Chains A and B, each alone.
Chain A
Amino acid sequence: MIHGEQLTKVYGMGSVEVRALDGVDIEIAKGEFVGVMGASGSGKSTLLHMLGLLDRPTGGALVIDGVDVTRLSEADRERFRLRRLGYVFQDYALVPELTAQENVYLPSKVRGMTAKECILACGSILEQVGLKDRAGFLPGELSGGEQQRVAIARALVNRPALLLADEPCANLDSRNSVLILDLIRALNRELAQTVVMVSHEDWHRKYFDRVLFLRDGRIVEDEYAGDAPGTA
């Protein structure tokens, strides 16, 4: 699913060079739920941005879902993000003027689905995240946990090859964090959804199939963790 070789990202800060990623090799298989962990400044967000095509590597090769994404034009990257990637941000990042349903079906609409198809797809995914009865609510009328579930539904509505989550529980209390992590884990298991999630909470490790530890822009540890509670 993901194959990265010697990925580097260098930021020039005056005369000082900062290597946010320093030759990362990464291999993630389809259906894996991978956690990316590490201290602040270790490069975990930079890696996620590379995988999410929000940033370009300074060097190295990156193939996602069989496509060499480093060679894509800006327009093709835009299309790739829309059709093959789903992104969940830590602050939900919903459009406040759109209802939960409208937020979810916006990417489908851009893909050219009819209104009927959008509503069907949206209804199904909202049901999966347990928000079917909240479809007509605006983000401001939903709790933080509900908003993040809407964001997850939005990320999954186009059935992406890869779901990327950037500290999705950072703004949630522990109860809602568990709900979100359970949901992502369940989607990963039921839909064989490949997930890469950045986290700095140690207790999240139990949800991941595998954890990549980064330090100073390098993967220093790649270990398989235990299954999530209640799953085999």
Chain B
Amino acid sequence: MLEDEQVALFLAARLIARGNKGTLLLTVTILAMVFVNLIFLPSIIAGVVVLFNQQTIDYSYGNLIVEPKEGELRIADPAQLVQKINGIPGVVASTPRYATGGTVVYRGESTSPLVTAIDPDREREVLKIHTKVLSGDYLSPADTGEILVGETLAGTSRPGGDSTPTLGGVTVGRTVDLTLPNGVTRQFRVKGILKAGTSSVDSAVFITRRDAASMLGQADPANAVLVRTETTGNDDAMRLVLMQFGVQEKIWTWEDKSADFLESIVGSFGIINAISTGVSLVIAVVVIFIVIFIGIVYRRKQIGILRAIGIGRSIIIKSYLFQALFICTCGTLAGGALLLAVLQFLAGNPIVFPGGPVAPSLEPGLVVQSVASLYAASLIAGYLPSWLTTREEILDAIRG
């Protein structure tokens, strides 16, 4: 049986080596493009998911979120809890927060954003919001009567410039009125405008916990403690560690908190991805099929003659399968090289999404799946036309 394969390989090698180079180059180029298409878009989508995940950790939750015990609205002793958590191995830092609703008014424009009271210094160790000050300055621990406003919430003074309720273009140095749910209203000077690319920052306001304590009439108000751990990815394990170290409050991972949002994003992108992959594969099958089919139709008479002199059908079919595999291998290699070049280019010139620059995330599983799909497509496209053509009567083939 191996003799058949040797003859098929011999025929395929000669047909490729001495056949039309232009057609071969064109086919390989098309396959390379298909290969890039199969991998590039999913890599970008994976990169966007990585970006969203990182944003969630850096600007919204940290790695872990500690919330009040069951049935309680506030953390009883946040200072002690933070101290305890900071002493746990694997924890970088933690920061208490008090998040509540509120009403902000500026020159008659009224909105009801999320109001988050923070300890500015501790926040710097857990989140990266302080790096996203668009104008003005970040809060200092000693600040009173100062507020940070998200860029989306600040809005623009241009009529019709905002699609959601905003403060109509408030800027640094202006004064806004903030009313908390207990009815206490106080004036705050806008110290900075934030832009992090995530709604939990861009559509919110931030004040110090000192101001919140004063307005709420509570000492040390906190309804969450955000925790930054040394590594991301072992968050469930770290949650257990915190519990083992006696943290009795409810503990969530950032994934728990953003599960619905992430599932929605990944699900939507998954559909786009599946359609794109399906279309690419169909293109691959059609291209290889057309090229090989045209080649076979062109050689129909020759195939008939080969059969007439005793060359078996299986040898002829296998020779076309070998040709398809060769074209596929060249296309995959060329596509791989092209993909690496594109990734290299994007490393220097990243695509900027609302949340920041996106680096394509190349997953080995995806590469293996794409290569396997392309080879499967090539085998089908190589086999089918050669099988069909060698099925016809020898004399019909010879007569063309």
Q: Which of A67-96 contact B (CB under 8 A)?
A: 75, 78-79, 81-83, 85-87, 89, 93, 95-96
Binds B, one of A102-110, A122-130, A217-225: A102-110
Residue A205 at the chain B interface, CB threshold 8 Å: no
* B10, chain A: closest CB distance, angstroms: 7
For the side of the interface on A, what is the size category? 20 to 34
Binds A, one of B48-56, B64-72, B129-137, B305-313: B305-313
Whether the Cβ atoms of B310 and A81 lie closer than 8 Å is yes
Residue A61 at the chain B interface, CB threshold 8 Å: no
Q: Which of B311-339 contact A (CB under 8 A)?
A: 311-313, 315
* A56, chain B: closest CB distance, angstroms: 10
* A186, chain B: closest CB distance, angstroms: 22
* A145, chain B: closest CB distance, angstroms: 19
Q: Which of B143-159 contact A (CB under 8 A)?
A: none
Whether the Cβ atoms of B19 and A49 lie closer than 8 Å is no
C-beta contact mask, B179-201 vs A, less than 8 Å → 1, else 0? 00000000000000000000000
Residue from the list B3, B4, B301, B311 in contact with A106, Cβ < 8 A: B311
Whether the Cβ atoms of B7 and A109 lie closer than 8 Å is yes
* B81, chain A: closest CB distance, angstroms: 79
Whether the Cβ atoms of A97 and B308 lie closer than 8 Å is no
Residue B18 at the chain A interface, CB threshold 8 Å: yes
Taking CB atoms, residues of chain B closer than 8 Å to A107 are: 309-311
* B18, chain A: closest CB distance, angstroms: 4
Q: A54-B395, A110-B3 are in contact. Are A98 and B308 (CB under 8 A)?
A: no
Residue A154 at the chain B interface, CB threshold 8 Å: yes
A6 to B126, CA, bound (A): 99
Whether the Cβ atoms of A112 and B3 lie closer than 8 Å is yes
Residue from the list A85, A95, A96 in contact with B310, Cβ < 8 A: A85
Whether the Cβ atoms of A82 and B310 lie closer than 8 Å is yes
* B242, chain A: closest CB distance, angstroms: 71
Residue B6 at the chain A interface, CB threshold 8 Å: yes
Residue B369 at the chain A interface, CB threshold 8 Å: no
Q: Which of B1-46 contact A (CB under 8 A)?
A: 3-4, 6-7, 10-11, 14-15, 17-19
Residue A168 at the chain B interface, CB threshold 8 Å: no
In the complex formed, the residue of A with least CB distance to B313 is A78
A85 to B309, CA, bound (A): 8
* B296, chain A: closest CB distance, angstroms: 14
Residue from the list B14, B309, B315 in contact with A97, Cβ < 8 A: B14
Whether the Cβ atoms of A81 and B10 lie closer than 8 Å is no
Whether the Cβ atoms of A82 and B309 lie closer than 8 Å is yes
A35 to B69, CA, bound (A): 106
Whether the Cβ atoms of A89 and B305 lie closer than 8 Å is yes
For the side of the interface on B, what is the size category? 20 to 34
In the complex formed, the residue of A with least CB distance to B13 is A97
Residue A57 at the chain B interface, CB threshold 8 Å: no
Whether the Cβ atoms of B308 and A110 lie closer than 8 Å is no
Taking CB atoms, residues of chain A closer than 8 Å to B311 are: 82, 106-107, 110
Whether the Cβ atoms of B309 and A78 lie closer than 8 Å is no
Residue B302 at the chain A interface, CB threshold 8 Å: yes
Residue from the list B6, B313, B393, B395 in contact with A109, Cβ < 8 A: B6
Residue B291 at the chain A interface, CB threshold 8 Å: no
A96 to B295, CA, bound (A): 13
Taking CB atoms, residues of chain B closer than 8 Å to A109 are: 3, 6-7, 10
Taking CB atoms, residues of chain B closer than 8 Å to A83 are: 310
Whether the Cβ atoms of B7 and A97 lie closer than 8 Å is no
Q: A55-B395, A102-B14, A109-B7 are in contact. Are A93 and B310 (CB under 8 A)?
A: no
A50 to B383, CA, bound (A): 30
Residue B283 at the chain A interface, CB threshold 8 Å: no
A107 to B19, CA, bound (A): 21
* B192, chain A: closest CB distance, angstroms: 73
Residue B394 at the chain A interface, CB threshold 8 Å: yes
Taking CB atoms, residues of chain A closer than 8 Å to B398 are: 54, 89
A82 to B315, CA, bound (A): 13
Whether the Cβ atoms of A95 and B7 lie closer than 8 Å is no
Q: A95-B302, A112-B3 are in contact. Are A78 and B18 (CB under 8 A)?
A: no
A75 to B308, CA, bound (A): 12
A55 to B11, CA, bound (A): 26
Whether the Cβ atoms of B3 and A78 lie closer than 8 Å is no
* A57, chain B: closest CB distance, angstroms: 13
* A172, chain B: closest CB distance, angstroms: 18
Residue A21 at the chain B interface, CB threshold 8 Å: no
Whether the Cβ atoms of A78 and B307 lie closer than 8 Å is yes
Q: A102-B14, A107-B310, A109-B6 are in contact. Are A54 and B394 (CB under 8 A)?
A: yes
Taking CB atoms, residues of chain A closer than 8 Å to B308 are: 52, 54, 81, 87, 89
Residue A138 at the chain B interface, CB threshold 8 Å: yes
Taking CB atoms, residues of chain A closer than 8 Å to B394 are: 54-55
Residue A169 at the chain B interface, CB threshold 8 Å: no
Residue from the list A49, A75, A78, A138 in contact with B395, Cβ < 8 A: A49
Residue A36 at the chain B interface, CB threshold 8 Å: no
Taking CB atoms, residues of chain B closer than 8 Å to A49 are: 395
Measured CB to CB, the residues of A under 8 A from B are 49, 52, 54-55, 75, 78-79, 81-83, 85-87, 89, 93, 95-98, 102, 106-107, 109-110, 112, 138, 154-155
Known interface pairs A49-B395, A93-B305, A95-B11; 6 further A-B residue pairs with C-beta atoms within 8 A, sorted by A's residue number: A82-B311, A86-B309, A95-B302, A97-B14, A97-B15, A106-B11
Q: List 13 A-B contacts (CB under 8 A).
A: A54-B394, A54-B398, A55-B395, A81-B310, A82-B309, A89-B398, A96-B18, A97-B17, A102-B14, A109-B7, A109-B10, A110-B3, A110-B315
Measured CB to CB, the residues of B under 8 A from A are 3-4, 6-7, 10-11, 14-15, 17-19, 301-302, 305-313, 315, 393-395, 398
A-B pairs, 8 with minimum CB distance: A82-B310, A97-B18, A81-B310, A93-B305, A112-B3, A97-B14, A54-B394, A97-B15
